[in-house]
Amino acid sequence: MRICLLSYRGNPYCGGQGIYLTYLAKELMKLGHDVHVVVGPPYPFEIEGATMHRISNHNYFNNRKEFIKPHRPFSTFSPFNFYEFIASKMGIFPEIETFSFRAFLKLKELVKKYDYDVIHDNQCLGYGFMLIKLIGIPFVSTIHHPLTIDRTTWFEYPSDFNLKIKRVLYYPLIMQKFVANRMDKIITVSHDSAEEINRAFGVPRDRISVVYNGMDSSIFYPIRNLKKKKNSIIFVGNVEDRKKGIIYLLRAMTLTKHRVHLTIVDGGAPNRNFMPRIVDKFKLNSQVTFTGKISMDRLIELYSETEIAVSPSLYEGFGFPAAEAMACELPVISSTGGALPEVVGEHLKTGYFVPPRDAEAIARGIDFLIENPAVRTRIGKAGRKRILETFTWSNAARELVEIYEEVINANGGSGKARG
C-alpha cells in the first residue's frame, strides 16, 4: 500500500503530532508499506525509508518582527503568504488553513507520479482538504482531541477581554468541524476523545475509529543505577498550555505535609510567562526547577532520578507524559481528565487517580506515595507492564492499516485499482 501522511507540523519535539507522525511512518514501513510524508515546519528529522515532501511557510503568527526573507523579500506578497500575514496580524492562526491549500497544490503534482492508496491527515482539517477530496483518493484524518477543549480550558483562567478575543479567533473550530464531517473516516487516540469529537464536531460515532498511540519502550525505560532524589516529583508538558492543569499541582505543593521538589520539563513552552508568576505567588521558588528544552537522554535520566510523576491535566486526548513516566517505572498521580484513565489504568494498581482541578487530592496523593515506598515500586512496575503490553506503535500501525483497507474498499478499491 502507498500511504501519504499529511502533517502541518512534523517535529517530534514540538508536541504529540510530530511523535505520532514519526512513529507511524516507521511502523507502517516495517509492515512493508511505502510511506510518503507531506509536512510543514518545524520539519521532522529524516525518517529513513520514507519519502519526505516539505511544504514551507513564513510562520507569520510567531515571527512578529523578522518575517522578511532577505533572499526573497517580496515573497510576503504571494497570495497565501499575504493572507497568512494579514490573518496573523488580526490574531487568527492561519497556518492550518494555508497548509491545507498548499498540501492540495503539492498533492496535485505528486499524484501525477505516485498512486497513493490512502491519504492520512494528522489533525489539520483545513478547507483545502475539500479540494484534496476531489482528487478521489480515500482520505482519513486523525484528531487527537477537538480544540474546543483547549479553548474552554483557556477560559478557566483569569485573562482580560482582549486576550479572550484573541483566544476565540485563534482556534479554527468552525473550519475543523466543517471538514471533519466530510472526511472518509476520523481516527482518534482514545475512546474519551472519540466522545468529545462526537460532542464538539457532531461527527457520528460510527465514523470515528479509536487507535491508541504507542510508546517507544526502547527509549523510555528505567535506568537502574541512578539514585532517586528524596521527595522529588516531575511534571512534563507545556506549562503555558492551560489544559495541563499545572497550577493545581503548584497549589497542591503548598498543601503537602512533606516538602517536595518539583522539576518541570517544559521544552514545548517557547514563551514562558504565566507560570513563573504563579510559582512566585505561591512562594515556591526554592521548590521548583524549570529545565527548559532538554535532550531525550536527559529526560529519561530525570524520570529515573525522580520518585513520583504528576499529570494533573484538566483534559488529555491521550497523555504522552503519563505514559512515558509509566514506561520508566514511575508511579503516576494522574487526574481523571479526558483519556488519562484509559492510559493510566487502575487506581492504586497502575496509577493513582485524583479528580481534575482538585489540589487537595493531589496533595494527599503525593503524601501517600512519599510515605509508602513499597506502593510506589509496585505501581511503577505494574504501570510499565501495562504500557508495554497495551500501547505499542506496531499495534497502532496494524490497526490503522485495517482502517485504511476498510476505507479503500468503501471507496471502490485502491488508487492503483482505480487507475
Partner 1 sequence: MNRFYKPACPDPDIPINMLTICIYGRILDPTVIMNYTGDRALGRPKIFGFIALVISSALAGLFIYSVFIIKNDYSLGNDLTTVHDWTFYSLAIPIGLVALFVAATGFWIGWTILTIKVVPPMPEIVEKKDFSKIKAFFLCLFTAGVAAVLIYGLYVRNFWALAVPAAAISLVILGSVFWVGMAIITTRSTLPKK
Site residues (vs partner 1, CB under 8 A): 66-68, 70-71, 73-74, 76-77, 82, 85-86, 89, 112, 130, 133-134, 136, 151-153, 155-161, 164-165, 168-169, 247-248, 251, 278, 281-282, 357, 359, 412, 417-419
Burial class (CB in 10 A: 0-12, 13-18, 19+), 93: middle
Work out how close the CB of 136 gets to partner 1 at its nearest, in angstroms, rounded to a whole number: 5
Determine the 3-state secondary structure of 307 from DSSP. coil
As beta bridge partners, residue 118 has 3
Cβ neighbours of 51 (radius 10 Å): 15
Work out how close the CB of 80 gets to partner 1 at its nearest, in angstroms, rounded to a whole number: 14
Q: Which helix (H) or strand (E) holds 173?
A: helix 173-180
Q: Which is nearer to partner 1, 39 or 354 (CB)?
A: 354
Report d(CA 82, CA 359) in Å as an integer: 46
Q: Which is nearer to partner 1, 86 or 219 (CB)?
A: 86
Q: Which is nearer to partner 1, 32 or 73 (CB)?
A: 73
Q: Which is nearer to partner 1, 76 or 217 (CB)?
A: 76
Work out how close the CB of 146 gets to partner 1 at its nearest, in angstroms, rounded to a whole number: 15
- Hey, what's the cell of 142? 486523525
Q: Which helix (H) or strand (E) holds 264?
A: strand 261-265
Q: How far apart are the first and last CA of the chain?
A: 14
My answer on whether omega of the bond before 42 falls inside 30° of 0, hence cis, is: yes
Q: Which is nearer to partner 1, 95 or 358 (CB)?
A: 358
Work out how close the CB of 87 gets to partner 1 at its nearest, in angstroms, rounded to a whole number: 10
Q: Which has the closest alpha carbon to 28: 414, 403, 407? A: 403
Work out how close the CB of 284 gets to partner 1 at its nearest, in angstroms, rounded to a whole number: 12
Q: Which is nearer to partner 1, 214 or 356 (CB)?
A: 356
Report d(CA 152, CA 243) in Å as an integer: 9
Work out how close the CB of 378 gets to partner 1 at its nearest, in angstroms, rounded to a whole number: 33
Report d(CA 262, CA 312) in Å as an integer: 13
